[in-house]
Amino acid sequence: MTKNSEETTEDMTLVSHFAELRKRLIWCSVFFIIAFGVSYSFSELVIDILSKPLADQYQNGEHKRLIFTSLTEPFLTYLKLSLYAGFFLTFPFILLQIWFFIAPGLFVEERQKIKPLLYMIPLLFYIGGAFAYFYIFPFAWEFFVSFETEAGALPIELEAKISDYFSLAISFIFAFGLSFELPVVMVILGRFGLVTKELLRNNRKYALIVSFVMAAVLTPPDVFSQIGLALCLLILYEISIHFLPEPSEEEKE
């Protein structure tokens, strides 16, 4: 094969890669647009679901409302929530398209190592979001609402803005959803030999520090959500150690 023919083959390969990438991006975009449209048509239901944990904090039924202070705020909030809900619905499909793009470039053994984990990535993401909604929201909202008081010269009452509240709720869900991906990341790194079970066991004290630092960064400054996320990260860290293979005799030596 001549030099010109080799360059032509490389160019054709590069063009085919870009064509495949373009195809996958188009499929992801189409699916996301459809998911966004469906989410926007059910945006009132999404708002009702996300606002229920806050409404449950008012047992006597008072102050059960969210306010807005600009004309465009409700529309932009509906739009933002629909975008996030569309991403939640599209996430497994996007992951599948990424796999279809990178799989042909992997060896058979590498594909066998990664493919089973593809099912766990969206599942753990959704579990993390559900954990934030059902277990973290009640404690965090109760903590924030507890600052209401009628003592003093003027009462302090909660008048939550819809944009602020839903941004906070979404940040919680995404923080816990992404944190629950830790076992998958560790297992992938372990299967490619980048981390070992012994390495993770010997660095538990650093994992403890990093977990609380990440919890402080990713969650609002209330003790319940920070401790909740830190404990989740530590538990997931231990689960990651459990799923990594035991070191061989040669590695121990």
Q: Helix (H, G, I), strand (E, B), or coil: what is residue 163?
A: helix
Q: Is 160 helix (H, G, I), strand (E, B) or coil?
A: coil
Residue 154 lies in a domain: yes
pLDDT value for 37:
93
pLDDT at 181: 86
How far does Cα 29 stand from its chain's mean position? Answer: 19
- For residue 244, tell me if it sits in a domain: no
Domain tally for the chain?
1
The answer to whether residue 249 scores a pLDDT higher than 60 is no
Does the residue 232 lie in any domain? Answer: no
Looking at the predicted structure, is the pLDDT value of residue 151 above 80? no
| Rounded-to-integer distance, Cα 177 and Cα 166, Å | 16
Q: How many Cα atoms sit within 13 Å of 104 on the Cβ side?
A: 8
Instruction: Encode pLDDT of 164-174 as tens digits.
Output: 999 889 988 88
pLDDT tens-digit map of 206-235: 888 888 888 887 776 667 778 888 888 888
Residue 10 pLDDT more than 80?
no
- Tokens 């490389």 map to which residue? 10
Domain assignment of residue 186, yes or no: no
CA distance 105 to 102: 6
198 lies in some domain: no
In a domain, 197, yes or no: no
| Domain span including residue 141 | 3-180
The model's pLDDT over 233-245, given as tens digits with 9 standing for 90+, comes to 888 888 888 877 6
Is 80 part of a structural domain of the chain?
A: yes
pLDDT at 4 over 80: no
Residue 45 counted as domain residue: yes
The answer to whether the CB of 156 falls within 8 A of the CB of 165 is no
Give the pLDDT band (50/70/90) at residue 98. confident
Question: CB 51: neighbour CB atoms within 10 A?
Answer: 18
